[in-house]
Amino acid sequence: MPDSVKSPLNIDFCGMPFNTPIVLLSGCVGFGEEYTRVKGFSNRETGAVCLKGTTQEPRLGNQPHRIYETPSGMLNAIGLQNPGVDKVVDEILPTLDFTETHFIANVSGSTVEEYYEVTRRFDDSPIDAIEINISCPNVKEGGVAFGNDPAMSARVVEACRQATRKPLITKLSPNQTDIAGNAQGCIEAGSDAFSVINTLMGMAIDIESRVPIIGNNQGGLSGPAIKPVALLKVHQVYQVCRDHNIPIIGQGGITSAEDALEFMIAGAHAVGVGTALFYDPLICQKINAGIRDYLTRHQLASVEHLVGTLQLHQQTRPKCSC
């Protein structure tokens, strides 16, 4: 634990003492050191950093263009470019400073066996926790193809559970019909926590050439555009997690302390920051300061007291979402 003094921002996440509720999201911060290039940035501002999605063998990833700005967000289709788990464990993890924050591996694969093998490899490493990526929208096999099928999701989680005793966090896709039902199956299969949500599938088209702008044809939409969707999904998954004491990393379009607070009120213990870093590399300091101010203003001793405090309007008439 980097900071022994208890701060209102400290949280416990699956037994890991987080400095702050902020988790830097997989795919946005490389293998943990990239943003430290920016003067003033520190991993100490976070509770954890999720490393880039890792597979058993190295992957080149998708052809350019891989990203494209859209209204209030962006599309990306990186395609899990990574050097393979052996290189990550043997060469990259030893360069990380584990006194600054917690590091979470992000595991991907094309088969259940690959998920198992990559998780097993990380189990035998200093990594603090493992996030199972069954929601990547940008690869042909595995990823969201597993995450949108509740039975497959549970099989992947079960296999990973057999490979490690480290905290297992399942990253859920918003591109599915019943996210809460899927979460229930993943809990039964051994998931300790959830990341809610991954990106929404989307597309952009060059009208002159009539081809998709993204090399992969489609990509994952992130940024403020998806925040309301993410918030509802966190609320829905929390209904399942609450009774099992399973924490959630709420994520999707968080760019301010106010956004982060909304996610925690909806049921997230921790909050993920990704696209907002592209806007402002020093955003974590501002989010932490804003949360601290809110806690003072509301006379709350810990940010954990906020989690799941949403008070829904009582519905007197039959429910209708339209």
Show which residues are catalytic.
136
Cα separation, 24 vs 47, whole angstroms: 8
- Rounded to whole angstroms, the Cα distance separating 271 from 46 reads 10
CB count within 10 Å of CB 313 equals: 5
76 binds another protein (CB under 8 A): yes
* Cβ-based burial of 309 (10 A; exposed 0-12, middle 13-18, buried ≥19): exposed
For residues 236 to 265, the per-residue mask of contacts with another protein, x marking binding by CB under 8 A and - elsewhere, is: -------------------x----------
| Least distance (Å) between residue 61 CB and another protein | 6
Residue 161: which residues within 8 A CB-CB, separation 6 or more?
Answer: 168, 189, 190, 191
The β-bridge relationship of strands 73-76 and 67-70 is antiparallel
Of 29, 20, 9, 18, which is closest to residue 275 (Cα–Cα)?
Answer: 29
**CA–CA separation, 253 vs 228, rounded Å?**
8
8 near 295, Cβ under 8 Å?
Answer: yes
Q: Can you tell me the distance from the alpha carbon of 158 to that of 88, in angstroms, rounded to the nearest whole number? A: 23
Task: Mark the segment that binds another protein (CB under 8 A) among 15-23, 72-80, 119-127, 242-250.
Answer: 72-80
Cα distance between residue 213 and residue 236, in whole Å = 33
For residues 61 and 108, the answer to whether their CB atoms sit within 8 Å is: no
Residue 279 as a binder of another protein (CB under 8 A): the answer is yes
Give yes or no for residue 211 binding another protein (CB under 8 A): no
Q: Does 34 bind another protein (CB under 8 A)?
A: yes
String marking each residue 40-59 x if it binds another protein according to CB under 8 A: x-----------x-------
12 versus 91: smaller Cβ distance to another protein: 91
Indicate which single residue of 152, 282, 300, 310 sits in contact with another protein (rule: CB under 8 A).
282
Among 97, 113, 141, 178, binds another protein (CB under 8 A): 97
Q: How far is CA 134 from the centre of its chain?
A: 11
Residue of the chain from 8, 17, 30, 308 that contacts another protein (CB under 8 A): 30
- 61 interacts with another protein by CB under 8 A: yes
Q: Is 171 in the site for another protein (CB under 8 A)?
A: no
Which of the stretches 66-74, 101-109, 157-165, 181-189 binds another protein when contact is defined by CB under 8 A?
66-74
Minimum CB separation of residue 28 from another protein in Å reads 6
- Residue among 9, 11, 29, 85 that touches another protein (CB under 8 A): 29
Of the candidate spans 32-40, 104-112, 130-138, 311-319, the one that interacts with another protein by CB under 8 A turns out to be 32-40
**Encoded tokens for 117:** 């093998």
Q: Which residues bind another protein (CB under 8 A)?
A: 27-30, 33-40, 52, 60-61, 63-69, 74, 76, 78, 81, 94-97, 255, 275, 277-282
